[in-house]
Amino acid sequence: MTVQKPIDAFILSLLAGIFILIGAAFHIIVGETLGWFFIPRFFIIGRSLFLFGLTGLICGILVLIGAFIIISKPANTKVGGIIVIAFSILSIFGAIGGFIIGMILGIIGGVLAIYWKPGIIYEVDTEIEEERRRFCPYCGRSIIFDAKACPYCGKRIET
């Protein structure tokens, strides 16, 4: 039995989480640089950027968790989609939404996850398929019943 999964929603949500984490890392690095290595008056700005970066880091991790909920448990795609959307939007306050790209990808991925439904899986009836085939008398491979020659050994087959 084939289990269908919302691959597109997962990929977009995963990319969103990665962009948000990159945005958060940028805030943390810039905040630490301004806060410790440059002029002391930038200390407050540096600390603020650092705290925004930590907020973005938490949002990015939660978006990644939502993405993995979407792919690992297809029955819970709605929950994963809601988590991805919520923390993608909140990431605007902590990581500039992953340079805005992460937020947009997260919203699209979350919406796709919420509206995802598994498709219909058609199973082939093997009995009908077996009736329409026969074996080559020369090489023994399964061939189409109406074949005039074996596609494997090339010998003509009389009907």
Tens digits of per-residue pLDDT, 9-20?
999 999 999 999
pLDDT at 47: 73
CA nearest neighbour of 119 among 37, 1, 3: 3
Q: What is the dihedral sign for C-alpha 112, 113, 115, 120?
A: positive
Distance in Å from the first CA to the final CA of the chain: 37
Which of 21-25, 28-32, 36-40, 80-84 is the least confident region? 36-40
Question: Backbone phi, then psi, for 27, in 5-degree steps?
Answer: -60, -45
**43 membership: H or E segment, kind and range:** helix 43-72
User: Which pTM does this prediction carry?
Assistant: 0.71
**143 membership: H or E segment, kind and range:** strand 142-144
pLDDT per residue as tens digits for the range 89-140: 999 988 888 889 999 999 999 999 999 987 655 555 555 555 578 888 888 8
pLDDT at 1: 47
pLDDT per residue as tens digits for the range 43-85: 666 677 778 889 999 999 999 999 999 999 888 999 999 999 9
Determine the residue type at 127.
E
Largest CA distance in the chain: 95
pLDDT at 143: 85
* Structural domain boundaries in the chain: 7-115, 132-159
- Report helix, strand or coil for 135: strand
The structure tokens listed for 7 are 């691959």
